[in-house]
Structure 1
């Protein structure tokens, strides 16, 4: 399948690393509003075609699918245009700027019978499936804790007054959208939509959140989420149950997972190491490789959505994400626009 890539920032490098691991994936074209960036990217990865207009790239008939690594504020507009032209589309996370945009994008996908893929990596990985399959080991779940904090490489520029794209309200950025979405996505994919949401955040002068937290409340347990773009963390994520705890090294990748049984003998575990844990995860590939295989398979099967991350799950994640932003007071210009 011939892909066109729109956008040449660092996440497009990750895409290319994943594409190398998928035999059926060929990157045939790259597009950037700054053509010089597209030329450099094409030279780096030996991509044959370069464009500075994604419509021209689609209409060239040289690609079969498109990957959008573009600012969050453009996801809605450009994804809709790709759908209307019948081009299977992989939209980078967060899927949209808000719930209403996501809902309309998915409605268009059904109307035009065009495959639309949410680029939230964890749900496509083998280790996420392993986590789901082994969740019963902890017994009755009582608490989930998902923590993802990473000091942004662009925060120093922000502190110098340079206004980098990472922290711009008009581009629909911020910690919850960039990093919190992974933790929220993991929680919703594992446990469904919560009954109640409580969210707080520390806002920067630009009007976006530098860090924040939210609690997702379910009938018999809670999920606590912490996210940050302005601090690092060494706290590990975990799911706590009455029979044990599963620890997860990073919500965005699921590379390492361990089960700590409260009672190893009763749990029937035979591979508990000296620290009392059992390795659950298996060695991982580049995250994009998993979702590219899923993307290609679903397009070949004539589906309009992934079975691993169906559209209703995307809508549930976007509903939670949008409500967290609302409670934090992070409002984007697009939130006030009429959709459709």
Structure 2
């Protein structure tokens, strides 16, 4: 069993912990939160071995093989660096790091700890439905572009409208719509098409100075990918990949719960692979097999592919922000 700890006690950590239990590959060895009552309650609810209010103490005492980091974005880098310094593998919630400086520094540190593995928790690109999209894409005679949309109204935007500054809408925490929901379709684009040759971002800022929604253009030589994302409104339209006469349609570039391929006459073939018991279970199973057999040839190939996705997504997100002069305090460190 893989001994794992968590940093963060929000809804996404709860979903991850439930996926860990379903996988039967992990032991929940430690829960970290700054607040004792929160850490204790989360640990009790999920039958964790121990709770901590000091992150370094958890790393030192819980005998971890891995730690899952789902704290505010601006804290990811320091927490991940502290873990690998103790040869503890890290699963970092997307986006893993604030900028290119952090990613480059982390990659260098990772090279100094060859037994450590780093995973960015981009759950949707590990799902059977994503693999169905990859297979359908490989069968298209040509690709003429794509349009990916992911917009979900955030209840925390109500707090922004009330004059508050929730973490997810502040640049101080390396947050905003691009980092929170835009990363999902950006991940799909990078995983399917690779690194774009040029990117542009057109953000709409909210009262906190962070982006609440936006449109990104990723240029791939002879075609473009348009990404629409936001946390201040809802979107219900399909995401699409355009072939010549065929089109791959996706219900949401963030959820990937329903996938179809439409022929020239509009006839649809359902490519969906069924519902998941937990949307994070496929990534948890993928991470477990790499952690348990890191030298297996297929696991090595998969790990290197996921690592390259993470490196490229970080570069694309940073380049998009630069194009729009959208900076974070973390960029100046």
Cα distance, 1:136 vs. partner? 3.2
For 1:332 and 1:305, the matched residues in 2 are separated by 34
Residue 45 of structure 1 is matched in structure 2 by: 46
How far the C-alpha of 1:306 sits from its partner, in A, is 4.8
Q: Which residue of 1 aligns with 2:246?
A: 244
- Structure 1 Cα separation of the partners of residues 310 and 46 of structure 2: 31
> Offset of 1:168 from its aligned partner?
1.1
TM (norm. structure 1) is: 0.92
RMSD value over aligned CA atoms?
1.6
Residue pairs, 1:62-141, within 5 angstroms: 62-113=63-114, 114-141=116-143
Q: What is the rounded CA distance, in whole Å, between the counterparts of 1:135 and 1:305 in structure 2?
A: 21
Say whether residues 1:276 and 2:267 are aligned partners. yes
Equivalent in the alignment of 1:267: none
User: Which ranges in structure 1 are unaligned for 5 or more consecutive residues?
Assistant: 264-274
Q: 1:200 aligns with which of 199, 202, 205?
A: 202
Q: What CA deviation, in whole Å up to 9, does each residue of 1:163-212 have, x standing for no partner? A: 11111110010000000011111001100111111211111232210100
Matching residue within 292, 306, 311 for 1:300: 292
Match of 2:180? Answer: 178
Does structure 2 retain, via aligned residues, the 8 Å contact 1:25–1:292?
no
Q: 1:22 touches 1:292 (CA, 8 Å); kept in 2? A: yes
Does residue 232 in structure 1 map to residue 223 in structure 2? no
State how far apart, in whole Å, the 2-side matches of 1:153 and 1:163 are: 13
State the shift of 1:312 in Å.
Answer: 2.3
The match for 1:331 is 327
Distance 2:193 2:102 in 1: 24
CA distance 1:306–1:39, shift in 2 (3 Å): farther
Given that residues 70 and 93 in structure 2 are in contact (C-alpha distance below 8 angstroms), is that contact kept between their aligned partners in structure 1? yes
Q: 1:182 to 1:173 in 2, by over 3 A?
A: same
1:291 aligned onto 2:283:
yes
User: For residues 328 and 209 of structure 1, what CA distance do their matches in structure 2 show?
Assistant: 10
In the other structure, the counterpart of 2:311 is 315
Distance 1:103 1:288 in 2: 27
Question: What is residue 217 of structure 2 aligned with on the other side?
Answer: 215
Q: Which runs of 4+ in 1 moved over 4 A?
A: 303-306
**Structure 2 match to 1:161:** 163
Q: How far apart, in 2, do the equivalents of 1:28 and 1:305 lie?
A: 29
Shift of 1:253: 2.7
Is this contact kept in 2: 1:106–1:116, CA < 8 A? no
- Paired residues in the alignment total 326
Distance 1:93 1:305, change over 3 A: farther
Give 1:59 deviation, angstroms: 1.2
Q: 1:21 and 1:308 mapped to 2: Cα distance?
A: 26
Residues 332 and 71 (structure 1 numbering): CA distance in 2 closer, same or farther, change over 3 Å? same
Check conservation: 1:137, 1:244, Cα contact below 8 A: no
Q: How high is the TM-score relative to the length of structure 2? A: 0.93
Distance 1:298 1:159 in 2: 44
Q: Report if the CA contact (8 A) 1:145-1:224 is conserved.
A: yes
